[in-house]
Amino acid sequence: MCVRLARNLFKTSDFIQCQKLILAVSGGSDSLALMFLVKEHLETLSVPPEMIVVTVDHQLRKESTREVETVAKICRVHHIKHIAVRWEGEKPKTHIASSARVARYDLLVKEAQKQGASVIMTGHTLNDQVETYQMRYQRLQKNRGALHGEVGAMRDEVYSSGFAGVLRGEADGIRDENHAREIRKKITKKNDSPLYERGLSCIPREALLHRKVRLIRPLLGVKRQTLRNYLRLQGQTWIDDPTNEDRNFERVRVRQSLHPEKLAYIAQKINEAALQRRQQAKNIADLILALDITVQHGRCFIAKPALFLQKHSSFPFVVGLFAVLMGGGFYLLPNQKLSMLVQKLCLDSVEKKRFTYAGSVIEYNKHGISLWREGRNMKEAIVEPDKTFIWDGRYQITNHGSKAIKIGAANLEQLKFLLKNSDFELEKPHFPSLQSLLMISNHKGYDIPELISRAVVHKHVIIKRIMAPFDWLSSREDAALVNVLEPFFNIEVKR
């Protein structure tokens, strides 16, 4: 059983170009089983990567330090390199579980980069997967009435009018009819299904952390009891976390209410949802490529689409997606909000209309749709030397200089002065969107890196445009979509 279990868990691609591998091990049964199974598998490889076990001490319970020492002792016995890292600082009063998760992954990525590891593996099991599905499904059920009505309205509006209001017109954007037919065939092949809840695909087997380090979860198809039986055969005990029985946590309540016989059924539902999410990502990517979209100087413009593109069931998702990305949002819009977006966009008017949504201003007329960051809640911040800061969910600023810098939104008067006194020219400046650009300043002056090609005041600073919903953790299921989006936001300025 042990040999068969270890043999079926890993893919050859898990270890490609991997010289060092981080295993997140808490001492619980799942992560300890992962450690021994990986060790067994690596012994079968001709050139295995170095395995490094990392234990995160969240410092939330008094037993945590002793548990870290227990893992370290097990690793010493089995000649495995072990590193302990701590979640330092004041802990939040609420949302402790989610905050600890973010801190844990951030610490794992930091250690992976320090060690030169390209892969992190965690011990999430089929039980974790099913519990996640059940929690998300129950939340979805609570809103079922509203979602049923609004998603139905969205579908009816999309198919009957195809954004006919301001965007009505013949398909004159594509002159070559043969080319139009080919694109139409490709992106409308499976265009008769409504947008589903992406979250029901649950935990992906593979993801990308910080756009840098692969996160792989090999045990997602294995029951926790199977792993515990495996550990017993190894003569290995594990640590039981008392919070796993604390009914104050939603996951514990769901776990205790789940019947074991439902695991296989829900697992199948998750697999179907993952395949659907992957297919939808490809469909949306094809639609984005077929549309005429530009992102420049803080503004996104979607030119008036041909009618068959307007009728695409994913068109609302694309508009909502770019609204989130331009507005610096961290989460994509759920179906309920997408249906509200459709209702706003489907106004039958030839005049220019404007509204705010997902942190963005959305303006549309007979020429198409413009989106830019809403002009509020863009707070100033200080970036100290040798620190990295995420500003407004849109920019990552790394200060390699010797002095602190101030960052914030571009000031209108300073913006006009820079445009007037630099070699940068804009034929028709759109100041509302230009004012959403990042401005760096100190006592010597100010600089808007996206507009000015040379450093005016600041040096040793790196500014990178990010896509917040995909920057911290990007699922493999969304790879096709992310690959298409990246060129729109591939902005990196080094001073």
Q: Tell me how far apart the alpha carbons of residues 187 and 182 are, in angstroms, rounded to a whole number.
A: 9
CA 70 to chain centre: 34
Q: Tell me how far apart the alpha carbons of residues 491 and 483 are, in angstroms, rounded to a whole number.
A: 15
Q: DSSP 3-state assignment of 302?
A: strand
Q: Which two tokens stand for residue 373?
A: 């960051």
- Number of Cβ atoms within 10 Å of the Cβ of 245: 11
Can you give the pLDDT at residue 2? Answer: 55
Q: Which pairs with CB-CB distance under 8 Å and at least 24 residues apart come from 385-393?
A: 390/466, 390/468, 391/438, 392/328, 392/438, 393/327, 393/328, 393/329, 393/330, 393/466, 393/468
Q: Tell me how far apart the alpha carbons of residues 493 and 488 are, in angstroms, rounded to a whole number.
A: 15
Can you give the pLDDT of all 495 residues of the chain as single tens digits? 455 677 789 999 999 999 999 999 999 999 999 999 999 999 999 999 999 999 999 999 889 999 999 999 999 999 999 999 999 988 898 888 889 999 999 999 999 999 999 999 999 999 999 999 999 998 888 766 554 554 444 444 433 344 433 333 333 443 445 554 554 454 444 443 444 578 899 999 999 999 999 999 999 999 999 999 999 999 999 999 888 888 888 888 999 999 888 999 999 999 999 999 999 999 999 999 999 999 999 999 999 898 888 888 899 999 999 999 999 999 998 877 887 887 787 645 667 889 999 999 999 888 899 999 999 999 999 999 999 999 999 999 999 988 899 999 988 888 888 777 776 677 788 999 999 999 998 777 788 888 875 555 667 899 999 999 999 999 999 999 999 999 999 988 876
pTM here is 0.84
HSE at residue 237, side-chain half, CA atoms within 13 A, is 5
The structure tokens 């009063």 sit at 93
The structure tokens 């330092």 sit at 88
Domains (range + CATH), the chain: 2-133+200-273 (3.40.50.620), 145-195+276-373 (no CATH), 381-494 (no CATH)
Q: Which two tokens stand for residue 345?
A: 């966009």
H helices present in 116-176, as ranges: 126-142, 144-161, 164-167
CA 244 to chain centre: 27
Q: Which two tokens stand for residue 139?
A: 């939340």
213 in Cβ contact with 117 (< 8 Å): yes
250-257 and 126-142 helices, crossing angle to 10° = 100
Q: DSSP 3-state assignment of 31?
A: helix
50 in Cβ contact with 23 (< 8 Å): no
315-327 and 335-345 helices, crossing angle to 10° = 100
Binding-site residue ranges for ATP: 26-31
Sheet holding 492-494, edge to edge: 387-391, 395-399, 461-465, 492-494
Can you give the pLDDT at residue 379? Answer: 95
Can you give the pLDDT at residue 244? Answer: 82
Q: DSSP 3-state assignment of 404?
A: coil
Q: Which two tokens stand for residue 231?
A: 């550990």
Burial 58-96 (b: 16+ CB within 10 A, else e): beeeeebeebbebbbebbeeeebebeebebeeeeeeeee
Q: Which two tokens stand for residue 26?
A: 């808490």
Binding-site residue ranges: 26-31
Q: Which two tokens stand for residue 299?
A: 């503004």
DSSP E strands, 188-234: 206-209, 213-216
Q: Tell me how far apart the alpha carbons of residues 459 and 461 are, in angstroms, rounded to a whole number.
A: 5
166 in Cβ contact with 290 (< 8 Å): no
Residues in the chain: 495
Q: Tell me how far apart the alpha carbons of residues 413 and 11 are, in angstroms, rounded to a whole number.
A: 57
Can you give the pLDDT at residue 175? Answer: 44
